[in-house]
Structure 1
Amino acid sequence: MVKSYQGAFIKKETKQEEPNSVSVKDYMATNLITFNEHQTIYEAMDILMKKKISGGPVVDENNNLIGVISEGDCLKEIVKGKYNNSPKLPGLVKDYMATNVIHIDPETNIFEAANMFLRMRFRRFPVLKEGKLIGQISQRDIMRAVRDSQEVNWKH
């Protein structure tokens, strides 16, 4: 069967962007609450509670990602304080943050990012460009991207 040149031309003209072309940079959060390694765990806990977040990136003065601090990391210090009968929380973020942080590239396809969430069971990934923190992508951001792509590109 032979296809006409005109038919191929029309198909190309009406082609919509495929959902696979949506990348992390299109849906990542960029206005992030960050921490520094010299903050106390108490300060970190206070920020987490006031901002209603469960964790955040730890950066140095040049915005290089050096770790991630989470509610779970803070709980470790609380338990230590109880064990030592010390109500103060003298520990620093650098003593409790995760330092082996898996990050994601801003050009990563959202479906590849979704697969990373399923494989690694993380709630969020820092987004780095040339070693600098530029954003964060969460599972919710991925769901929003898929929902938006479905409305434009997929048949219901």
Structure 2
Amino acid sequence: MFRSIKVRDYMNREAVTLSPETHLFQAIDILLTNRLCSAPVVDASGSLVGVLSESDCLRGILSGAYFEESCGTVRSLMSEVVETIDADADILKVAEHFVTHRRRRLPVTEQGRLVGQISRRDLLRVLKNYNDHGAPRR
């Protein structure tokens, strides 16, 4: 029953993203303003190239303070290995990933391009709607 529900139907298409060229403190401001603990990093073509986390930001600040230099850009601090989920994956695959890897959200991709994000909260909303109404609603 849940295998017919696809990630693309419930993902957030308005993901807050960062550019690799964004200065660290500008990126921190974006994270704080949007109450995020991390954000996907996309290049000019929309391809997902990394993710910047709070820990990456702290590492950059500490490194900059220690070596008395500029903290740099997102590119120099982001994690380039990013766990993603395909837009056509079913909701159960996302649930398994969240339980196994203890992530809060996953970038959603199609052919390497970021098309949105899905969170544990999005998933819970789908499952609750299904329970309440017999079929998921957006």
- Settle same-fold status: TM greater than 0.5: yes
Deviation sequence 1:11-42 (CA, Å, 0-9, x none)? xxxxxxx3332121111110111111111111
Residue 69 of structure 1 deviates from its aligned partner by 0.7
SS at match of 1:82: helix
Decide which structure has the larger Cα Rg and report it.
1
For residues 19 and 118 of structure 1, the distance between their equivalents in structure 2, rounded to whole angstroms, comes to 16
The match for 1:68 among 51, 66, 71 is 51
SS at match of 2:71: coil
Identity of aligned residues (%): 36
For residues 134 and 66 of structure 1, the distance between their equivalents in structure 2, rounded to whole angstroms, comes to 13
1:40 and 1:89 in contact (8 A); partners too: no
2:7 and 2:87 in contact (8 A); partners too: yes
Is residue 113 of structure 2 the alignment partner of residue 141 of structure 1? no
User: Any unmatched runs of 5+ in structure 1?
Assistant: 1-17
The match for 2:105 among 124, 133, 139 is 124
1:7 match: none
The match for 2:63 among 80, 83, 99 is 80
Query: 1:89 and 1:27, CA in 2 relative to 1: closer, same or farther beyond 3 A?
Result: farther
Q: TM-score, with normalisation over the residues of structure 2?
A: 0.89
1:42 and 1:89 in contact (8 A); partners too: no
The match for 1:104 among 85, 105, 126 is 85
For residues 32 and 124 of structure 1, the distance between their equivalents in structure 2, rounded to whole angstroms, comes to 11
Matching residue's letter, 1:137: I
User: Any unmatched runs of 5+ in structure 2?
Assistant: none
For residues 19 and 119 of structure 1, the distance between their equivalents in structure 2, rounded to whole angstroms, comes to 18
